[in-house]
Amino acid sequence: MTYIGSSVKRVEDKRFITGQGRYTDDIVLPQMTYACMVRSPHAHAEIVSVDISHAEQMDGVVKIFTGKDTDAAGIGGVPCGWQVDFKNGDTMKEPPHPLLVSDKARHAGDAIAMVIAETYAQAKDAAEMVIVEYNVLPAVTNSKAARADGAPQVHADVPNNLAFDWELGNPREEVDAAIAGAHHVTTLEFINQRVICNAIEPRSAIGHFDTAYDKYTLYTSTQNPHLIRLLLCAFVLGLPEHKVRVVGPDVGGGFGSKIFHYTEEALVIWGSNQIKRPIKWTAERSESFVTDAAGRDHITTAKMAFDKDGNVLALSADTFANMGAYLSTFAPAVPTYLHGTLLQGLYTTPLINVSVDAVFTNTTAVDAYRGAGRPEATYLLERLMDTAALEMGRDPAELRLQNFIEPFDGVEQEGYVTQVALQYDSGNYAPVLKRGLEMVGYEQFRADQKAAEGTGKLLGIGFSTYIEACGIAPSAVVGALGARAGLFESAQVQVHPTGKVSVYSGSHSHGQGHETSFAQVVADKMGIPMEDVEIIHGDSDAVAFGMGTYGSRSLAVGGSAIVKSIEKVLEKGAKIAAHLLEASVEDLDYAEGKWTVRGTDKSVAFGDVSLTAYVPHNYPEGLEPGLDFSSFYDPANFTYPFGCHICIVEIDKESGVVKVKRFIAVDDVGNVINPMIVDGQIHGGLAQGIGQAFCEGAIYDESGQLVNGTYMDYVMPRADDLPSFEIDRTVTPCPHNPLGVKGAGEAGCIGATPAVVNAVMDALKGYGIHDVEMPVTSQKVWNIIHGS
């Protein structure tokens, strides 16, 4: 049987496309109440008073909690999960993130009270009657502006709003000296704008304290139930972990925004014990816009220096990273260890220095969003590369090829050690670019581009050759870098007496198709039909432990844990088989679901062995009954997918309208289990990456209000904005995990954005500009063309 490598249709899609998915908001518990949050309309305001007396009298109101109540209960707030200290060794500034604020609101959307009623409509009506008196303060939303003296202070005890500063790479003086002496230096100052994750399912949480068992259950739209349980128990509420169950049922997309532990999760759990009834809270879309952690939001100055032959000599990058008003769970890691460490890219740059200021502002928190740090790194490098090529009159493809790291497989040749703290596992970079050039028909394109001159259209081509770090991550490494958790994964493979198999995975599927691709792995490795395999995830009472899904880690880390457990099952199964066959284990072969004595036709089927394991009448002496193994897998390294994205745009000069004519993506994600699922992940990632370039971006006004907080104004990419993607792959297996897989969830989003902007810049090269701010709207392009 060879499921691995074939495009098996997704088994989970039956329930999704027939409307039978079971999301948190679908769950109704007896006696359930509904919560509506009272949120600050102001980005920055002292709370003078909160009057709940009218609201309490409203129909159906069960209870109203304010910040006074959570303060009185001694709840400190939700913690940050990653500590990055200042360059000088000072501890990261980590002001509390209260569940309900009692002193002041620090962003529009900060929660002030939780109104609980018999129905959501009643809760909402009563929430409107909670009267909050504010003393509105000036707000700051831009991270660079927030660093200035005299800028509004988001937290009283964080001078100049600096959460921490950070640096990585070669000594700055050396890098600066190399830049100063270089033949050519390309400098870009740009904004990698804030994007809002916009998962189709809004966040939702149900807290249920069961008085019969003194046990809490939290249903929540999360990417990592066990992590939420750990944070809830160990940091926020001090609950006994064995008395808390966290379930992440079907989750309608996360893109990172559902990794984090949110205040509402803690509120419904705590509140349910106060009122001894379950509480459900589901975000309205308008709430999602202002409370889901957002992505990107960097302001960067970067320099890349070249010698006269076009060899990269040095790179420096200085970034202001907007943290928002509070440090979200993984926020400190994103602009640092997921961004700075990627600035080697695919190039042999000998000197690199990156520095980051992580800054508080009066905005919603920023944290990991599909790609998390790596899209920002790729944008920085790849915009520099194309700009440098343009400035030096070089071909952008050739300039890249010239600077690529030589191939290495991580087995015969050592992994490549970068200037910024990583060792790449395996890589062979030229083929993805060469394949991309072949697919695009590069020479023909340049001819077409020339031919278009003088017409009303401008054609442009943009490149992006990226690397990313996935399979997050070796626990000891991330521990040394400030993570407050390990990043291994667990898996239990439970063989039932009848030979059917339940697999409990600590990874969590929220659209990725684990129930299919994991089952393909299990079925192949065990030689049984896929229908005999069930993948169970997302329930802390079912799955022993797990670190969840993000950073393209599920297959590389979670899949590897499954493989480890399968190996244990087959090893024990062989002992039972040997006993039944009266042979020795060394003489047995396992294939297609049976053990055979080599060179004979004597065999025993998997199902007979599993039955024997649970009905151990005729059984090896001293062997425990049962066929059920758990494993923990901690990866030896990150995995490093890479690829080449090429975008072709056509600009209409009269209107400035830009059309993506073609998009070519050649990705190398290591071995592929299900090509259709990988293609789907790439397509979705490309849509988001292209979306950032052309459509998306949070806009704040002076007072700190999100101006485009509805779908009437916030532009999401749509199918008709995109061309039919042309994709291909090369395969460079990961040398350090048993499946040879690298991860595919974020690649599309990491590579695409700079390819698009580079294409626009290529089309506009006659207009003497070096950058255009994203999103690249037709108005911006028209202004460039018409010189205003």
Partner 1 sequence: MVPSKFAYHKPSTVKEAIALLATHGDDSKILSGGHSLVPVLKLRLNDPEHIIDVSGIDSMGGIRDNEKSITIGANSTHGEIANNAALKEHAPMVALAASMIGDIQVRNFGTIGGSIAHADPAADWPAVLLAADANVVLSHAGGQREVDIDQFFKGLFMTAMGEEEIITAIRIPKTAFNKNSTYVKFPQPASRFALVGCAAAISNSDGYITEARVAFSGVSATPFRDSNVEKSLKGSVLNEGSIATATASVADGVSIMSDHFAAEKYRKHMAGVYARKALSALA
Q: Give the footprint of partner 1 on this chain (CB under 8 A).
A: 120-121, 124-125, 128, 284-286, 654-656, 695, 699, 707-708, 711-716, 721, 777, 779, 782-783, 788
Residue number, 78 or 698, with CB nearest to partner 1: 698
Residue number, 41 or 486, with CB nearest to partner 1: 41
What is the nearest approach in angstroms of partner 1 to the Cβ of residue 160? Answer: 29
Residue number, 417 or 707, with CB nearest to partner 1: 707
Residue number, 305 or 781, with CB nearest to partner 1: 781
What is the nearest approach in angstroms of partner 1 to the Cβ of residue 32? Answer: 16
Residue number, 413 or 783, with CB nearest to partner 1: 783
Instruction: Indicate if the alpha-carbon torsion angle 207, 208, 211, 216 is positive or negative.
Output: negative
Q: Which residue has the tokens 């109704």?
A: 28
Q: What is the DSSP letter of 379?
A: H
What is the nearest approach in angstroms of partner 1 to the Cβ of residue 45? Answer: 21
Q: Quote the Cα angle for 490-493-494, to 5°.
A: 135
Residue number, 450 or 786, with CB nearest to partner 1: 786
Query: How far is it, in rounded angstroms, from Cα 309 to Cα 316?
Result: 20
Q: What phi and psi, each to the nearest 5 degrees, are found at residue 274?
A: -65, -45
Q: Are 579 and 511 in contact (CB under 8 A)?
A: no
Query: How far is it, in rounded angstroms, from Cα 572 to Cα 548?
Result: 28
Residue number, 504 or 714, with CB nearest to partner 1: 714
What is the nearest approach in angstroms of partner 1 to the Cβ of residue 783? Answer: 7
3-state secondary structure of 729: strand
Q: Are 99 and 75 in contact (CB under 8 A)?
A: yes
What is the nearest approach in angstroms of partner 1 to the Cβ of residue 713? Answer: 5
What is the nearest approach in angstroms of partner 1 to the Cβ of residue 456? Answer: 11
Residue 486 amino acid letter: G
Residue number, 286 or 502, with CB nearest to partner 1: 286
Orientation of helix 374-392 relative to helix 396-403, angle to 10°: 120
Residue number, 474 or 709, with CB nearest to partner 1: 709
Q: What is the DSSP string of 42-69?
A: SSSEEEEEEE-HHHHTSTTEEEEEEHHH
Residue 266 amino acid letter: A
Question: Phi/psi zone of residue 267: left (φ > 0), alpha (ψ -120 to 50 degrees), beta?
Answer: alpha
Query: How far is it, in rounded angstroms, from Cα 745 to Cα 370?
Result: 8
Query: How far is it, in rounded angstroms, from Cα 639 to Cα 625?
Result: 38
What is the nearest approach in angstroms of partner 1 to the Cβ of residue 776? Answer: 11
Residue number, 43 or 283, with CB nearest to partner 1: 283
Query: How far is it, in rounded angstroms, from Cα 281 to Cα 359?
Result: 30
Listed residue (322, 324, 309, 229) closest to 269, CA to CA: 229
How would you label 89-121 residue by residue, b for 16+ Cβ within 10 Å and e otherwise? Answer: eeebbbbebbbbbbebbbbbbbbbbbbbbbebe
List Cα–Cα distances, 415 to 431, 674, 788, in angstroms: 18, 27, 49
Residue number, 395 or 650, with CB nearest to partner 1: 650
Residue number, 173 or 720, with CB nearest to partner 1: 720
What is the nearest approach in angstroms of partner 1 to the Cβ of residue 109? Answer: 15
Q: What is the DSSP string of 480-519?
A: HTTBSS---EEEEEEE-TTS-EEEEESS--SSS-HHHHHH
Residue number, 591 or 707, with CB nearest to partner 1: 707
Strands 628-633 and 642-652: unpaired
What is the nearest approach in angstroms of partner 1 to the Cβ of residue 707? Answer: 7
Query: How far is it, in rounded angstroms, from Cα 728 to Cα 364?
Result: 38
How would you label 372-394 residue by residue, b for 16+ Cβ within 10 Å and e otherwise? Answer: bbbbbbbbbbbbbbbbbbbeeeb
Strands 244-247 and 279-282: unpaired
Query: How far is it, in rounded angstroms, from Cα 295 to Cα 698?
Result: 10
Q: How many residues does the chain have?
A: 788
Residue number, 141 or 223, with CB nearest to partner 1: 141
Q: Are 275 and 63 in contact (CB under 8 A)?
A: yes
Taking 3-state DSSP, the helix, strand and coil percentages for the chain, each rounded to the nearest 5, stand at: 30, 25, 45
Cβ within 8 Å of residue 419, ≥6 positions away: 169, 170, 344, 349, 350, 351, 352
Query: How far is it, in rounded angstroms, from Cα 545 to Cα 228?
Result: 12
What is the nearest approach in angstroms of partner 1 to the Cβ of residue 112? Answer: 18
Query: How far is it, in rounded angstroms, from Cα 756 to Cα 662?
Result: 10
List Cα–Cα distances, 638 to 19, 166, 207, 375, 788, in angstroms: 37, 22, 36, 17, 46
Residue number, 198 or 631, with CB nearest to partner 1: 198
- Strands of the sheet containing 131-136, edge to edge, are 104-105, 45-51, 131-136
Residue number, 48 or 707, with CB nearest to partner 1: 707
Residue number, 102 or 778, with CB nearest to partner 1: 778
Rounded to the nearest angstrom, the gap between the alpha carbon of residue 62 and the centroid of all alpha carbons in its chain is: 37
Residue number, 270 or 714, with CB nearest to partner 1: 714
Tell me how crowded residue 590 is: count the other CB atoms within 10 A of its CB: 18
